[in-house]
Each structure stands twice: as C-alpha cells, then as structure tokens.
Amino acid sequence: MPVIDRPAQDWDPAAYGRFRDLRLRPALDLLARVDALPDGDIVDLGCGSGAVGPALAQRFAGHRLIGLDTSAAMLAEAQATGAYARCEVADAATWQAAAPLALIFSNAALQWLPDHEALLPALALQLAPGGVLAVQMPRQHAAPSHRFLREFAADLYPDRFDFADWTPPVAAAIDYHRILNPLGLLDIWESEYLQRLAPVETGHPVRRFTESTAMRPILEKLSEDEAARFVSRYDEALRAAYPVEADGAVLFPFRRLFLVLSTLQS
C-alpha cells in the first residue's frame, strides 16, 4: 500500500513545508516587483506558515505586518517567525481591513477562492491611495499533475466527483487585466518554473508535491483503501508524464500567474 500524507482537518505545516524553497521562490519573485508603498499596514493574505514573512518585514521595515490565514496550525508557525505584528484567523473571501492598507500580498492562496472578478477588486478597494495588491497563484490546472487528479477521481469515484461543470480556479492573464486595469497601474505576467524534485523513498515525487495541496480536496472524501487505489493509479500515470532522471530526481514544470496592481495616488 502506498505511503500517503492523509489531510488532517487543518493544514499540516510539515507536509506543506517539505518543498518550502520551491514554494518560496515565486513569493520572492513577486515581492521583487513591489516598489515604494504609502503609509499603512501590510497584510500577508493567506500567509500559511509565514515563509515570506521575514522577507516582507525586512523589505518594508517601517510598516506593521499582519498575517491572515484560515489555518490555526499554519498561523502558529507564522507567528513563531517573529516577522508579524500579529497573526489572525480570517477568510480572505469575507475579510475586511480596519483601515486602508499599504500592501495586500497574497502568495499561492487566492486560487482556493471563487469569483475573482468580484474578489480582486474588493481587495483593491481596501488599499490606501498608492497602495499595492500583489498576488501570485498557481496556474497548473491543465498540466498532467493536476489534470490527472480530476480525471482519476471522476473515473474511480463518480458518486463523489463530477467535473462536468468545472472551471479553472485561475483564469488567463488577459481576464485579470480586464478586471483590474481600470483600478490602477497593472503589471501581470506568467512564469513557468522548472522544478527539480528530489527522489523520494515511496511514490512519485510529483505526487508527494501535490498531496499537501491540490490533492487535499480529493483525499478528504476517500477512505484509506480508496485513497490507496487512487494514489496507485496516480503514481503510475505520473511516472509516464514525469519520467525519473538518471540521478533519481524528477523535472517538474510548474506555471504560475503574477499580478501587481498599484492604485492611483489621490
């Protein structure tokens, strides 16, 4: 039976942190495109375990940094970094700032939320004049790593998974441009990272990468035996889509979308 990181009720910082460096690099690339900020607090929206907190705090030392996430376990890790003035449990879909913000920074979080056409402008409206909305989201849904998850879940367990009306969680860059361009100066781009995943003792390295994130909603609905059956099929397909290199590692292309919106000065 394959070794599987079963999703707990809360996010598991250790499982998510297994690929910390690969997940942190896009956050730092996003941060590098944020320029000077007006007065106000900075919110790390969906801060997770706070991996980018120290970099945010160092870059904008004159601002108070607040971490928000839905996971209490992740927030405990974030608070322990010492980078945040405070960390709070909050849902990005309904959260409202108490005062206009200098920066809302969100790395690999908003893809979990629907209705970006309403959500992103609502976040932008919480910025101070000259404030910045900086967002990075994985746009990996068409790749085998994520497509297989939907296909195999629907095939093996159609009583629980129906993707007939499924829409991608992250739209095309042109769609976000049309949504946000009227609100300020917009910089939007996509990057594909060629990630080297080290060998693992059991299973396929790509599966070990996805099981703490994209695979979670599927595993949550499966029994132990069902999960083992699903994972065995997934591992087999991944071996064909992402072959093992001579050193035992796997090369895993991963696409991400970035946007930086600078609101207009009053």
* Residue 17: per-residue pLDDT: 46
pLDDT digits (tens, 9 = 90+) for 174-198: 999 999 999 999 999 999 999 999 9
pLDDT digits (tens, 9 = 90+) for 18-46: 566 888 999 999 999 999 999 999 999 99
Out of 3-12, 191-200, 205-214, 223-232, pick the least confident. Answer: 3-12
- Pairing between β-strand 65-69 and β-strand 42-45 as defined by DSSP bridges: parallel
* Residue 157: per-residue pLDDT: 97
Mean pLDDT of 220-228: 96
pLDDT digits (tens, 9 = 90+) for 110-155: 999 999 999 999 999 999 999 999 999 999 999 999 999 999 999 9
All domains in the chain, ordered by first residue: 13-263 (3.40.50.150)
* Residue 19: per-residue pLDDT: 63
Distance CA 183, CA 125 (A): 9
Beta bridge partners of 44: 67, 105
What sign has the CA pseudo-torsion 78, 79, 85, 87? positive
* Residue 264: per-residue pLDDT: 83
Residue 68 pLDDT class (50, 70, 90 cuts): very high
CA 53 from chain centre, in angstroms, equals 15
Residue 169 pLDDT class (50, 70, 90 cuts): very high
Show Cβ contacts of residue 107 under 8 Å, excluding neighbours closer than 6 positions: 26, 27, 30, 44, 46, 48, 52, 135, 136
Residue 212 pLDDT class (50, 70, 90 cuts): confident
Contact 45, 105 (CB under 8 A): yes
pTM (global) more than 0.85: yes
* Residue 265: per-residue pLDDT: 76
Mean pLDDT of 46-60: 96
pLDDT digits (tens, 9 = 90+) for 70-99: 999 999 999 999 999 999 999 999 999 999
Contact 262, 130 (CB under 8 A): yes
Q: Which residues of 97-132 are buried (b: 16+ CB within 10 A; e: fewer)?
A: beebbbbbbbbbbbbebeebeeebeebbebbbebbb
- Phi, psi (rounded to 5 degrees) for 85: -65, -35
Is the pLDDT at 205 greater than 90? The verdict is yes
Compute the mean pLDDT over every residue in the chain, rounded to the nearest whole number.
93
> Which residue pairs, CB below 8 angstroms and at least 24 apart, start in 178-183?
179/116, 179/117, 179/120, 179/121, 180/120, 180/121, 180/124, 180/133, 180/259, 180/261, 183/121, 183/124, 183/261, 183/263
